[in-house]
Structure 1
Amino acid sequence: MSSRAAIRYAKAILDQAKEKGTEEVVFGNMKSIDATLNASKELRSVLKSPVIKPEDKRASLKAVFADYDPSTLSLIDLLVDKKRSALLGQVAQSYVSLYNESKGIVVAQVTTAVELDASLEAKILAKVKELTNSSEVTLEQHIDPSLIGGFILRVGDVQYDASVANQLVSVQKEFSKRL
């Protein structure tokens, strides 16, 4: 969940990127920043640490994201200057959401116990397109072995849980009621 400040920064960078015609490049940068921060606990710790000097945070971020668009690098500078570098991940997520929304792209998240094969992925995409009346759908797949089988599909605020783990919990609750 992004904070209001992160959303404001994301809107500002999106507006700036639209003016320059670089919103797709910045979109790629933001997806990469989000993935990098999610993968690196150490980098997240550096950004949140009040002990690490802003110059060191800036140097670290510029080293990791050196070849990014100037708009993205100026955002990093701004966040460090304002002592809000810890918001970088949230800003990136907000930018991706705002970009998708502005392009009419629906993002569906599917969580399964194992990797989806191509035919099943195509069926899920077709069903989400049908349900949302959208021609552009992006599917984000997550793997969670604890589901045992089945899937969980989330589109916006709607979630459909057809996992074996959920069905087992339902059966357990039903048994508990009858005892």
Structure 2
Amino acid sequence: MNTGLIAVRYATALLEFAKEANLVETVYDEAKLLTLMFSKMGRLRHALENPVISTAEKRKLLLNAIGGKASKVYEKFTDLLLENNRESLVQNIMLKFIDLYRKEKNIRYGKLVTAYPVSQKTEKSLIKLITDKAGGTLELEKVVNPDILGGFTLEVEGVRWDASVSGQLQQIRNEFTERNSKIV
């Protein structure tokens, strides 16, 4: 069974269904929330794959995972997945749906990691810089990680810029090690 192909088909169907109901943005937000829950709660996936847990309980889990207030599209789609025993693919389907939505709306996804929280002004400047060069819009996830010491790392669609202090220290360490290995 090709789960990737199945996930793409269901995600495409969900996108079309959401368009027909004029709820694409709502379903997109629900999909992002659900994938966030999957990453935060590893047990959710195990519960959905557990054959002992009833379909009704799995439905309740999927609805509660997004806060309990689900759109009709999300509810009906959840019922379809459970009816067809595709609950183990929910996370992949939602990730594919998010990809399809972003591609259609020309939205780029980026992750900004800084040692300290950035100001709104800095965030807006960074977003403008990227969208001016790449076009479209940018959806930016911000993460604070004191381990980078200072500066930032930015990753947008697989391209990574490392302007962090820890990254520069690592580069110096690598150069030092390489030069010393040639001496010995």
Q: Same-fold call, TM > 0.5?
A: yes
Residue pairs, 1:8-157, within 5 angstroms: 8-65=9-66, 66-134=68-136, 136-157=137-158
2:18 touches 2:73 (CA, 8 Å); kept in 1? Answer: yes
Residues in 2 aligned to 1:15 and 1:67: alpha-carbon distance in whole angstroms: 21
Quote how far apart the aligned CAs of 1:125 are: 0.8
Identity %: 29
Task: Give the total of aligned pairs.
Answer: 177
* Residues 89/123 of structure 1: CA separation in 2 closer, same or farther (3 Å cut): same
Task: Return the alpha-carbon distance in structure 1 between the equivalents of residues 171 and 51 of structure 2.
Answer: 45
Specify the code of the residue in structure 1 equivalent to 2:122.
L
For residue 71 of structure 1, what is the amino acid of its counterpart? V
In the TM superposition, structure 1's runs of 4+ consecutive aligned residues that sit over 6 Å from their partners are: none
Q: State the secondary structure of the residue aligned to 2:53.
A: coil
Q: One-letter code of the match for 2:70?
A: Y
2:109 partner SS: strand
Return 5+ residue gaps in structure 1 as ranges. Answer: none
- Aligned-partner Cα distance in 1 for 2:97–2:163: 30
Q: Which of structures 1 and 2 has the bigger CA Rg?
A: 2
Q: 8 Å contact 2:34–2:65 — kept in the other structure?
A: no
Give me the CA root mean square deviation: 2.2
Deviations 1:56-100 (A, max 9, x none): 322332444542112111222222233332322222222222112
How far 1:14 sits from its partner (Å)? 0.3
Segments of structure 2 that go 5 or more residues without pairing to the other structure are none
CA distance 1:48–1:148, shift in 2 (3 Å) = farther
Tell me the distance in 2 between the aligned counterparts of 1:114 and 1:91.
34
Farther off after superposition, 7-16 or 41-50: 41-50
1:141-163 deviation line (CA, Å, top 9, x unaligned): 12223222221111212211222
Asked if the contact 1:112/1:142 (under 8 Å) is kept, the reply is yes
C-alpha distance in structure 2 between counterparts of 1:88 and 1:103, whole Å: 22
TM-score, with normalisation over the residues of structure 1?
A: 0.85
| Matched-pair contact (CA < 8 Å) for 2:21–2:73 | no
Instruction: For 2:77 and 2:161, locate their aligned partners in 1 and report how far apart those are by CA, in whole Å.
Output: 37
TM-score normalized by the length of structure 2? 0.83
